[in-house]
Structure 1
Amino acid sequence: MSLRFSRWRSIYREFCDWGYILALRDGEIVAKGQVEVGKFRPKDRIVLSGSGSIGVDAVADIVGAGGSILVEKGSIQLDYFNSRFSRNLLAQLASVEDPEVRSRVASSILEAAAYNKIRVLEILEVPEDVRSRIIEEIKGLISMLEGTVLSRLMGIEARITKLYFEALRHVIPAEYGFKARTRRPPKDYFSAALSYGNMLLYRHILREILRFGLDPRLSYLHIPYRYRPSLALDIAEEFRQAIVDLAVIPLYTSRSMSIKGDFQVFGSSIYLNKRGNFKVRRSFHHRMNLKVEGRSLADAIRGQIRKLLEFIHGDRSEYTPFRIQ
C-alpha cells in the first residue's frame, strides 16, 4: 500500500505531562495534564510521554479513524488490524527480506559513512602526509562496497574504520593513551568518551524510530538479533562522525577532559565518571541541536527516518543516506 509523501509531512504529534488523561471530548481527542492541554485529530499519530491514562472512547475513535498512539514509557504501541504500525511492519519486512534491496541500502549507508570519515579528516589538523595517504586508501575501499554478502561489506567497513582511527591517533594528545579504538570495554580515555557518545546517539535514534512507527529490530546493515534495535545502529552509521566524533574530539584536542577528574578505571577498563559523562553529554546535545541554515542534526535524523519510511512504502526509488556537507 503506497503512502504518498504529503501524508508524512506531520508524522507525529507529541504531548508530555504528568497525570494526563487522554479522552474523547466533543469529537476531539484531548489530552489534559497538570500543566499542558493538547488537542488532536483521531487520525493523528499521538506520542505520549510522562504518565497518565487513556480513555476507551478515545482509543475506539482513534482506531476508527486509522490513527495511532505511542506511549514512550515502555514503548507501548496501539496496534490493530490494518493500523499504520502494522502497515509499516509489513513494508519493512518486504524491504529487508529482499536481498537486492537490503544490500543496496547497506552499501549506500557504508559509503556515506566512509565519506563522512573523510570529511572529518579534512576538517581536523591531521598531518598532511598521513591525511592524504589514508584518504586515498579509504577511497579505494569505498569502490569495493558492493555485493550482497553482508559479512564482506562489514569487513570492508572495518578496514575503513581502522584507517580512520589510525589518522585520529595523530590528533588526540598522547596522554590520553589512544592507540586504537577499543570497545566492550574501552581501554583508553578517548574510547571511553566515544562509547558513551555512541550510546547517547543510539538512544536518540531509537526514540525517533519508535515515534515514526517503525520496528527498530528490522535492519539492512546490522543483522537483526532478538530485541536488538538494529535499525538504530544502521542509521547511527550515517551520523556517528557528524555528531559523536565532532562533539567528542574537541574535548580532547583542547585537553578539556581531565584524566584524574573525569574517568574511573577498573583494571584495564576505563569509563567516564559522573563529571565526565556530563561534559560529553553537554557537548553531544550542543552538537545535536546546533542549527546550520535553520536545520539541526536532530532535524537531519528525523529527515533520514522520514526518507526511510517513504522508501519502504515505495514513495522513493532509493534511500539516500546523510552526508556531512
Structure 2
Amino acid sequence: MKQTKYLFNPGRLSRQDNTLKFTPVDEDGTEGQPRFLPVEQVSDLYVFGSLDANSALYNFLGKEGIAVHFFDYYEHYTGSFMPREYLLAGKMQVEQTKHYLAAKKRIEVARAFVEGAACNILRVLKYYNNRSADRRDRDLTDAIATIDRLLLSVPTAPDVPTLMGIEGNIRQTYYGCFDAIVGETFTMNGRSKRPPQNELNALISFGNMLCYTACLGMIYHTQLNPTISFLHEPGARRYSLALDMAEIFKPILIDRLIFRMVNKRQLQASDFRMETGGCVMKEAARKRFLQEFDASLKETIKHRSLGRSVSYKHLIKLECYKLQKHLLGMETYRPFKAWW
C-alpha cells in the first residue's frame, strides 16, 4: 500500500533501479546513512529540508505518479511537483470550465463549499461547547449563533465576492473561539498568517497547508482540473480547486487535531521559537504533528451512504467524485458535513 513519505533533513534524492535513495547531507557536506524508499510504496513526498535532485529523478517520479510538495524553513508551502495528469478527460475539462465561466453555475458550487465549511465549523464548536467538564470557561453559544446567522445568508449570496465576505466573517468568528477551546496553553490574539505571530497561528498555517496538499493529491487522482476553481479565484502558479476543497476539511482534519494535541499537552510553548520570520515549530514538534496528521488521514469512519468504513483521506476523493457528477449534470453537489 502506497504511503506519504516525509523528508525533514537536507540531502540528495536519486534513483537506484526501482528504488528511491535519499542520502542526508549535513551543513559540512558530510553524507549520512542512505535511506531507501521502494517506489511502489510511495504515494507522494513532503520535503521540509533542502533537496538536491536532477531532472532524471523527476522524470522517474513523474512516470511513477509521485507528487513532491515543498515547504520552506518557516513551514510555508512553496509549491509542488505534480506528475502529468493521467485521468484528465476532455468532457470534464469543458464542463468544469463552463461552470466557472457561467456566473449562476459558479456561485452554486461556491455556495456549497462555504456551506460545507460552515457546517463543519459549527460541528467542532458545538462539540467543545457541550463538553460539560469545561463548560464554565467555554461558552461558545454566541459564536455558534453568529455563524448560524451568517450561514443563513449563504444561499442568497449574489456573487462570489459577497460569498467570500460571508466566509471571512464566519472564519473570524470561529477563530475568536480558539482561545477558549485551548484554555491557557496558548493565546491566539487574532489570525496572523505571513508570518504567524504565535504558536496557534503557526499551527493553523502549517495544518492548513497540509490539508491543501492532501486535497491536491486526491484531485490528481480524479478527472478534475486542479487549476479551475469556483470559490477562490483561479490564479497563476496555484492549484486553486484544492483551496476550495480544503475549506470543507480544515475544521475536521486540522482544527480538531490542533485542539486535541494542545489540550493533551502534546504540544507546548517549548515546542516553538520566535524568529524574525515569525513563530516556528521546532523539528521534533513538526514531526509529531505530521505523525498525528498522517494517522488522522488513515483513520476510518462508517460512511452513511456507502454503508462501509472509509478513511478520511478517501473522504476527500469521494468529495471530488461528487463534484465531478455535479459538473457532468448527473447529480447536484452536496458538500460533506461531519455528523460526529
Displacement of 1:224 after TM fit?
Answer: 0.6
Would you say 1:160 and 2:170 are equivalent positions?
yes
Q: Give the match for residue 303 of structure 1.
A: 318
Q: Give the match for residue 264 of structure 1.
A: 273
Q: For residues 30-84 of structure 1, what are the alpha-carbon distances to aligned partners after superposition, in whole Å with 9 as ceiling and x for unaligned?
A: xxxx886xxxxxxxxxxxx993797xxxxxxxxxxxxxx95646424268xxx84
Displacement of 1:243 after TM fit?
Answer: 0.4
The CA distance in 2 between the partners of 1:111 and 1:35, in whole Å, is: 39
Q: For residues 157-192 of structure 1, what are the alpha-carbon distances to aligned partners after superposition, in whole Å with 9 as ceiling and x for unaligned?
A: 111111112222111133422222221111111111
Q: Which of 189, 197, 200 is the matching residue for 2:199?
A: 189
What is the 5 A alignment of 1:128-143?
A: 130-143=139-152
Q: In terms of mean alpha carbon deviation, does 282-291 or 297-306 score higher?
A: 282-291
Evaluate the alpha carbon distance shift between residue 272 and residue 131 of structure 1 in structure 2; reply closer, same or farther with a 3 A threshold. Answer: same
Matched to 1:75, the amino acid is M
Q: Give the match for residue 315 of structure 1.
A: 330
The total of aligned residue pairs comes to 272
Does the CA contact (< 8 Å) of 1:222 and 1:233 recur in 2? yes
Displacement of 1:117 after TM fit?
Answer: 0.9
Q: Give the match for residue 9 of structure 1.
A: none
The CA distance in 1 between the partners of 2:61 and 2:151, in whole Å, is: 50
What is the 5 A alignment of 1:202-241?
A: 202-241=212-251
Matched to 1:241, the amino acid is P
Evaluate the alpha carbon distance shift between residue 256 and residue 14 of structure 1 in structure 2; reply closer, same or farther with a 3 A threshold. Answer: closer
Evaluate the alpha carbon distance shift between residue 219 and residue 177 of structure 1 in structure 2; reply closer, same or farther with a 3 A threshold. Answer: same
The CA distance in 2 between the partners of 1:209 and 1:300, in whole Å, is: 12
What is the 5 A alignment of 1:1-325?
A: 19=17, 51=60, 72=67, 74-77=81-84, 84-124=88-128, 125=131, 127=135, 130-145=139-154, 146-260=156-270, 262-267=271-276, 269-293=278-302, 294-316=309-331, 318-325=332-339
TM-score by length of 1: 0.75
The CA distance in 1 between the partners of 2:62 and 2:224, in whole Å, is: 24
TM-score by length of 2: 0.72
The CA distance in 1 between the partners of 2:217 and 2:141, in whole Å, is: 38
**Where do 5+ consecutive residues of structure 2 fail to align?**
5-14, 19-37, 41-57, 69-80, 303-308
What SS does the aligned partner of 2:176 have? Answer: helix
The CA distance in 2 between the partners of 1:168 and 1:15, in whole Å, is: 32
Q: In terms of mean alpha carbon deviation, does 250-259 or 121-130 score higher?
A: 121-130
- Please report the RMSD computed on the Cα atoms of aligned residues, expressed in angstroms: 3.1
Matched to 1:155, the amino acid is G
Does the CA contact (< 8 Å) of 1:218 and 1:230 recur in 2? yes
Does the CA contact (< 8 Å) of 2:179 and 2:186 recur in 1? no
The CA distance in 2 between the partners of 1:35 and 1:244, in whole Å, is: 28
Q: Give the match for residue 23 of structure 1.
A: none
What SS does the aligned partner of 2:274 have? Answer: strand
Q: For residues 247-287 of structure 1, what are the alpha-carbon distances to aligned partners after superposition, in whole Å with 9 as ceiling and x for unaligned?
A: 11111112221322x22311471021211211211121122
Evaluate the alpha carbon distance shift between residue 278 and residue 52 of structure 1 in structure 2; reply closer, same or farther with a 3 A threshold. Answer: closer
Evaluate the alpha carbon distance shift between residue 78 and residue 173 of structure 1 in structure 2; reply closer, same or farther with a 3 A threshold. Answer: closer
The CA distance in 2 between the partners of 1:242 and 1:50, in whole Å, is: 35
Matched to 2:334, the amino acid is T
Evaluate the alpha carbon distance shift between residue 215 and residue 14 of structure 1 in structure 2; reply closer, same or farther with a 3 A threshold. Answer: farther
Q: For residues 84-105 of structure 1, what are the alpha-carbon distances to aligned partners after superposition, in whole Å with 9 as ceiling and x for unaligned?
A: 4333221210111111111111
**Where do 5+ consecutive residues of structure 1 fail to align?**
1-12, 21-33, 37-48, 55-68
Q: For residues 170-222 of structure 1, what are the alpha-carbon distances to aligned partners after superposition, in whole Å with 9 as ceiling and x for unaligned?
A: 11133422222221111111111111111111111111112213221100100
Evaluate the alpha carbon distance shift between residue 70 and residue 100 of structure 1 in structure 2; reply closer, same or farther with a 3 A threshold. Answer: farther
Q: In terms of mean alpha carbon deviation, does 251-260 or 107-116 score higher?
A: 251-260
Q: Which has the larger radius of gyration?
A: 1
Q: Give the match for residue 24 of structure 1.
A: none
